[in-house]
């Protein structure tokens, strides 16, 4: 049985846990969801999701626990949303720990502070999707190995690189499982 981990150090963990569970049920995939707080739990995972939250805090905790190094060393597929997208970057506009798994430069809080949060219909995978942006970053620059999945207001808001996927918005808050299903299919090499 495959396992999708939800990094449980800080952020909107329970929302990702529930929507990942829902996506697996809808896909009828032999997999479970596990909240990951330490390296031992991470080693049980075939893929991991890093949620929104405080990217600096999550990065420091990943460094302290050894989870960040283990994700990189074991080549675990990662889906990062909002703060998770920042952590997947090679470079950001603030000095903080990063995984560096996607060749991109990310600007933190790029759409404004908390009170500037907004919802907009965006397009991803050729379909309309509700984009929920909360102190959201955007991607300023990508390398050749990165596929752009979505752009909003001329800003890159979703990318894919290998089995990693990153979004500036919060798909876990929508009830729409399509992005989670996409990541699960890519990470586990399975068909829906």
Determine whether 172 is an active site residue: yes
Predicted model pTM: 0.95
Q: Exactly one of 15, 16, 164, 172 is catalytic; name it.
A: 172
From the candidates 16, 164, 170, 180, give the one annotated as an active-site residue. 170
Asked whether residue 57 carries a pLDDT value surpassing 70, the answer given is yes
Which domains are seen in the chain, by residue range? 2-188 (3.40.50.880)
pLDDT digits (tens, 9 = 90+) for 15-51: 999 999 999 999 999 999 999 999 999 999 999 999 9
In the predicted structure, residue 190 carries a pLDDT above the cut 80: no
Q: Which residue among the candidates 15, 16, 45, 82 is catalytic per the annotation? A: 82
pLDDT in tens, 58-98: 999 999 999 999 999 999 999 999 999 999 999 999 999 99
> Is 154 annotated as catalytic?
no
Cα separations in angstroms, 143 against 90, 109, 131: 10, 21, 24
- DSSP string of 64-108, one letter each residue: HHTHHHHHHHTT--EEEETHHHHHHEEEESS-------EEEEEET
CA distance 172 to 180: 8
To the nearest whole percent, how much of the chain has pLDDT over 70?
99
C-alpha to C-alpha distances, 136 to 99, 115, 118, nearest whole angstrom: 19, 11, 9
């Amino acid at each position: 049985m495959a396992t999708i981990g939800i990094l449980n150090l800080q952020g909107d963990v329970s929302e990702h846990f529930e929507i990942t569970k829902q996506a697996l049920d809808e896909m009828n995939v032999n997999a479970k969801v596990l909240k990951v707080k330490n390296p031992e739990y991470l080693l049980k995972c075939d893929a991991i999701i890093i949620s929104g939250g405080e990217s600096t805090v999550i990065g420091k905790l990943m460094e302290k626990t050894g989870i960040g190094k283990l994700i990189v060393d074991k080549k675990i597929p990662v889906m990062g949303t909002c703060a998770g997208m920042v952590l997947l970057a090679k470079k950001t506009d603030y000095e903080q720990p990063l995984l560096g798994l996607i060749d991109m430069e990310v600007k933190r809080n790029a759409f404004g502070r908390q009170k500037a949060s907004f919802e907009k219909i965006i397009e991803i995978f050729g379909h309309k999707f509700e984009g929920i942006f909360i102190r959201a970053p955007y991607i300023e620059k990508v390398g050749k190995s990165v596929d752009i999945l979505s752009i909003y207001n001329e800003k890159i808001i979703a990318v894919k690189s290998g089995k990693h996927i990153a979004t500036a918005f919060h798909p876990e808050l929508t009830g729409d499982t399509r992005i989670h299903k996409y990541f699960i299919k890519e990470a586990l090499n399975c068909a829906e």
